[in-house]
Amino acid sequence: METLTDIIAQIKNYMTALDWQYIITFIIICYGMNHYKVKEGLQKATGTHTRTRYRVVIVGLLYGTGLYFLRGYKLPQIENLFQSFIFALVFHKFIVEALLLWLAKHALPQSISKHLLDEEQLKKLNMDKADGK
């Protein structure tokens, strides 16, 4: 029982050490860049078509670097910022996207779902609904 208490305490310490302002704003920025007309505008402006994962990593690193200098972080705080970056990537991919897909499939009308999901996801979702999944 003592080991479980130690594990929970370590997880609590890890979660409180994360930079939650960075995590939430990073997810919002990336979500906006990848699901609205911004993506097409960036592709036209730069003349490149980068995959979503690379765009997210580049934005996260640039945003983290900017926050490091704006907030006046010291060298030891870089580790917390990097851990927050990694946590945000995982949290966004496995929790936020999964929640949005579930909501679009089970709870939200298509008029709202089309604003939350891209065309590929909507097509797959509609095919799954037609198949009765």
The pLDDT value given to residue 126: 66
Instruction: Return the percent helix, strand and coil in the chain, to nearest 5.
Output: 85, 0, 15
The pLDDT value given to residue 32: 79
Domain span at 127: 2-131
The pLDDT value given to residue 54: 81
What's the number of CA atoms in the CB half-sphere (13 Å) around residue 23?
20
**Whether the predicted pLDDT of 12 surpasses 90:** yes
The total domain count for the chain is 1
Is the pTM value of this prediction over 0.75? no
Average pLDDT on 12-24 reads 91
Residue count (the chain): 133
DSSP one-letter string for 92-116: IIIIIHHHHHHHHHHTS-HHHHHHH
Read off the pLDDT band of 84 (50, 70, 90): very high
